[in-house]
Structure 1
Amino acid sequence: MPFEIAIDQSVLDDLQVRLNQTRWPDEVTGSAWGYGSNLDYMKELVEYWRTNFDWRAQEEKLNAFHHFKSKVDGLDIHFIHERGVGPSPMPLVITHGWPSCFFEMTKIIPLLADPASHGGDAADAFDVVAPSLPGFGFSQASNDPGMQVQKVADMWATLMTENLGYPKFSAQGGDIGSGVTSRLGYSHHEKMYGVHLTSVTRPTPYLGPGSRPLTEAEDALVTQRDRWFLDEGGYNHIQGTKPQTLSYGLNDSPAGLAAWIIEKYRTWSDCHGDIESRYTKDELLTIVTIYWVTNSIGSSVRMYKENQSSLWTMAENEKVPAPAGMAMFPQEISRPPREWAERSYDVRRWQEMPRGGHFAALEEPQLLAHEVREFFRPLRD
């Protein structure tokens, strides 16, 4: 059924009170971002949130899209559904990750749904479906264990084929969305035109007896990932082990929530340390505010525990059957070589991107839209 974003004023008033009463920590002199979110920047951002940010204006922009909610496996799932403008639009489900939300897709949706209005070819149009993951934003959370990427992929297949009536569809995603998209290409490949990814993290390829040795580039990837988890993976470990404990603080303090999220946008983007060279304050705060007003940070972070409790590993000589395309952005968290991806996927297109990072749809929508069009063009009926 159609859905409109309309946050109750009492929720916004409560947010204002909490921002006004922020209790700031101290900071190591000269530490900048070295110990985490920088105190000066967070004070500046929260002051803007408190005095200048207009949620109602952002709400109006978001409501310019066609929003819906649909019951999938007993949960109310929120999604944007924009019909393509072209002779034969291809159905496409695009899935975000964490600490992102459906807002990440709002720049790329028009480029994919109506390419002719944005310098492209109408023949490349898509019917774009951009859901919110269960427990993220306006999608209902499950209070039962087991909400990992495999489960969400099954839900998306139901949403696309049964609820929306598409007999066959395509999928694109990054971060958690990459895992969901990959699983769609594995468990539901007979319904898929193909899958397109900006991160290659799942499934773990078969590396057992009889598999070929790691190449030099693959060995470097393993080393890089191990180093990254030591330097940057603290959030991943706590969200994957004790998400409930973390949730109390993030759900109670908007400044704390912002600090937890914003540091990731700075670290994982191609911004050379200047976060606002890639995102405006309004964009950053729209993401944070969506988490705040929907009370969904706790249910979002616990998906890490669910995923780590149910790792997905390829068996010997097994691959994701659906045709796969990959766009590798230079500041992505992990950038495997093509031969690593080919252990688990039928790679039809592999593109090294000139710039951009982890949140590609928000950071470089034109580049990503071009890649999605190019990959799926030969796979259309």
Structure 2
Amino acid sequence: MIMATLEAGQQTRSDKSAIRPFRASFPDSELSELRRRINATRWPERETVADQSQGVQLATTQALARYWGTEYDWRKCEARLNALPQFLTEIDGLDIHFIHVRSKHENALPLIVTHGWPGSIIEQMKIIDPLTNPTAHGASASDAFDVVIPSIPGYGFSGKPTQTGWNPVRIARAWDVLMKRLGYNRYVAQGGDWGAVITELMGVQAPPGLIGIHTNMPGIFPAEVDAAAFSGAPAPAGLSTDEKLAYERLQFVYQKGIAYGFQMGLRPQTLYGIADSPVGLAAYFLDHDARSYELISRVFQGETEGLTRDDILDNITITWLTNTALSGARLYWEYFGKGYFNVKGVSIPVAVSVFPDELYPAPRSWAERAYPKLIHYNRLDKGGHFAAWEQPEIFSADVRAGFRSLR
């Protein structure tokens, strides 16, 4: 059960534009059932190779399950969520859940941040304080943001679409409605993974008031280069060293690292197993990309590196408790074949952060071609695909730098 409460004096639900306060609350029985299912997992034999080439390794999955089924405490995450201002509002017939934290500093720049898959608002919780309260993190009050973090339709506490059509183009339009509904007529947007696609489409739509975007998974591949990488062809002639490296990394993603994308893009409803088995869901979520998986595997071996065991399980557990594994998967079906990493035609100012363990290191040359109004390009020393989650201070500092010229 998810509880949404209306405070006295708030508008009723009959007003579709009402902004209603929200709190998450799940009964103990659901948490007990989750543990029961984890501990009743029927395990296969281990993989027949010594690496991850056959998928998520048995030892990693069993270490995750041991902790999840005995020590992990969802209530800690629930308390952190409920300590934040959370809301629901209906947009285009669907409830949208979002966190909204205003800065104490005057003239804060409104910012909407969008998560990705396999993800949720859990990914962005660590960047809220660095962005809204920059003076506590070594930055200036003039760098402050008001932060809005929505849950993508079908994810977390947002409504689950019951008809087709909730694709990234529609979500991008909905985010502008949300920001205008909150009274923000001048704002910026940020995203990685699906959030990057949605944010870039906002930049393509360029609604009045959206003055710039920031991405940490930039769509910079020229169409012919993207198509060649997808087909498995050798790198085109004439690429620079940086461009060739980006091409090879993208080709690896297409050829060996994005099996989940094809499954969800083509047959998402078939994935009943991840809706029925917590460990099945966890393994599926861990298999996003090789570098992220390597980090997570080390975490479950006892190392502390960017993420903790609780970070990882908070993100999986919110999906389990809201039963959004398949409603989230269908986003891939809605956008399949449209292109995740290709140039989309953004016309407004763009800031780019390049993290070394991202799916590919975006070359400056392609970023400059993709974004005619590139206002910031920076290569960071540490961080991966889930940079806001893994390295929140580094990530937040570069977001501040990226948007500074637009204030």
TM-score > 0.5, shorter chain as reference: yes
Moved over 4 A (4+): 204-208, 309-315
**Deviations 1:130-153 (Å, cap 9, x if unpaired)?**
011000111111122222211110
Q: Give the match for residue 320 of structure 2.
A: 292
Matched, 1:354 2:381: yes
Matched, 1:239 2:269: no
Which secondary structure state, in structure 2, belongs to the residue aligned with residue 129 of structure 1? strand
Pair 206,27 (structure 1): closer, same or farther in 2 beyond 3 Å: closer
Match of 1:308, as an amino acid? Answer: F
Q: Identity rate of aligned residues, in percent?
A: 37
Structure 1 match to 2:191: 173
Cross-structure match for 1:196: 214
- Structure 2 residue 127 is the aligned partner of structure 1 residue 108: yes
Give the distance between the partners of 1:199 and 1:336, measured in 2 at CA.
8
- The unaligned stretches of length 5 or more in structure 2 are 1-19, 226-236
TM-superposed CA distance for 1:378, in Å, is: 1.6
Measured against aligned partners, the alpha-carbon deviations of 1:190-240 in whole angstroms (never above 9, x if no partner) come to: 3212100000137x64659xxxx9633435533432232212121111111
Cα distance between partner residues in 2 of 1:52 and 1:223: 41
Q: Secondary structure at the match of 2:154?
A: coil
Structural mapping, 1:99-248, within 5 Å: 99-161=118-180, 163-201=181-219, 205=222, 215-216=239-240, 217-246=242-271, 248=272
Confirm whether residue 378 of structure 1 aligns to residue 402 of structure 2: no
CA RMSD of aligned residues (A): 2.3
Q: TM-score, normalised by structure 2?
A: 0.86
Could you tell me which of 257, 269, 293 is aligned with 2:281?
257
In the alignment, is the contact (CA less than 8 A) between 1:92 and 1:129 conserved in 2? yes
Structure 1 stretches of 5 or more lacking a match? none
Between the aligned partners of 1:270 and 1:155, the Cα distance in structure 2 is 35
Matched length: 371
Q: Which residue is equivalent to 1:65? A: 84
**Residues 214, 103 of structure 1: CA spacing in aligned structure 2 closer, same or farther, 3 A cutoff?**
farther
Q: Tell me, what secondary structure is at the counterpart of 1:321?
A: coil
Task: Give 1:370's aligned amino acid.
Answer: A
Task: Tell me what 1:308 maps to.
Answer: 336
Contact 1:270 1:355 in 2 (8 A): no
For residues 154 and 119 of structure 1, the distance between their equivalents in structure 2, rounded to whole angstroms, comes to 35
Q: Map of 1:71-82 to 2, 5 A cutoff?
A: 71-82=90-101
> Deviation of residue 266 (structure 1)?
6.4
Answer whether contact 1:205 1:313 (CA < 8 A) is retained: no
User: Residue type of the partner of 1:343?
Assistant: R
2:215 partner amino acid: L
Q: Distance in 2 between matches of 1:131 and 1:53?
A: 26
Q: CA deviation at 1:41?
A: 2.0
Counting only pairs closer than 5 Å after superposition, residues 274-293 of structure 1 correspond to structure 2 as 274-275=298-299, 276=303, 277-293=305-321
| Matching residue's letter, 2:288 | K
Separation in structure 1 between the aligned mates of residue 340 and residue 273 of structure 2, nearest angstrom: 31
Match for residue 3 of structure 1? Answer: 22
8 Å contact from structure 2 (residues 197, 340) kept in 1: no
Q: Distance in 2 between matches of 1:282 and 1:311?
A: 33
Q: Does 1:13 align with 2:13?
A: no
Q: What TM-score, normalized to structure 1?
A: 0.91
Q: Give the deviation of 1:50 after TM superposition.
A: 1.1
What's the CA shift for 1:268? 2.5
In 1, distance between residues paired with 2:246 and 2:377?
17
